[in-house]
Structure 1
Amino acid sequence: MTLFGYTIDGGQLFGLISLLSVLALWLIVLGRERHYGRWFRQWEADRKARRDAENGQSSSPGSGHAKRGPWG
């Protein structure tokens, strides 16, 4: 088989197919990992909202107390 003027034997063809398969696998894994990250951030935000609602706290920035440094 000839590709771009180079003769490709069975081993090289297998290597090329394997390389493309691994690339496709990593792209699928990357997409799923990004989806999981988005899901986890949304889950954390929902959990915090439920906890704040149970404690009777408001999550709005002007809820009566000013933040004073990194410890609140």
Structure 2
Amino acid sequence: MNLFGTELGSSQIMALVGLVATLILWLFVLRGERSYARWFRAWEADRKARREAQNGATGNDDGPSHGGPWG
């Protein structure tokens, strides 16, 4: 096979295919990580909103008191 004026043997073609396959794999992994980060940010914001709504409804704005030596 001739690519950009260079003859490629079977081992070089397989190495090129391996590199392209690795690139595709990492693109899928990156997409999954970005999707997970986006989901986690939304989940954390929803959780914070629920917690603030619950604290606002009960009138407890400074969080739960544990009754320890500091509060």
User: TM-score interval w.r.t. the shorter chain?
Assistant: 0.7 to 0.9
> Identity, % of aligned pairs?
56
Q: Show structure 2 runs of 5+ residues with no match.
A: 58-71
Question: Cα RMSD (Å) of the superposition?
Answer: 1.1
Q: CA deviation at 1:20?
A: 0.3
Partner of 2:25: 25
2:16 — aligned with what? 16
- Aligned mates of 1:49, 1:5 — CA distance in 2: 61
Q: Which has the higher helix share?
A: 2
| Corresponding residue number in structure 1 for 2:50 | 50
TM-score (norm 1): 0.75
Q: How many residues align?
A: 57
Unaligned runs of 5+ in 1: 58-72
Q: What's the CA shift string for 1:19-66, capped at 9, x where partnerless?
A: 000001111111111111111000000001101111117xxxxxxxxx
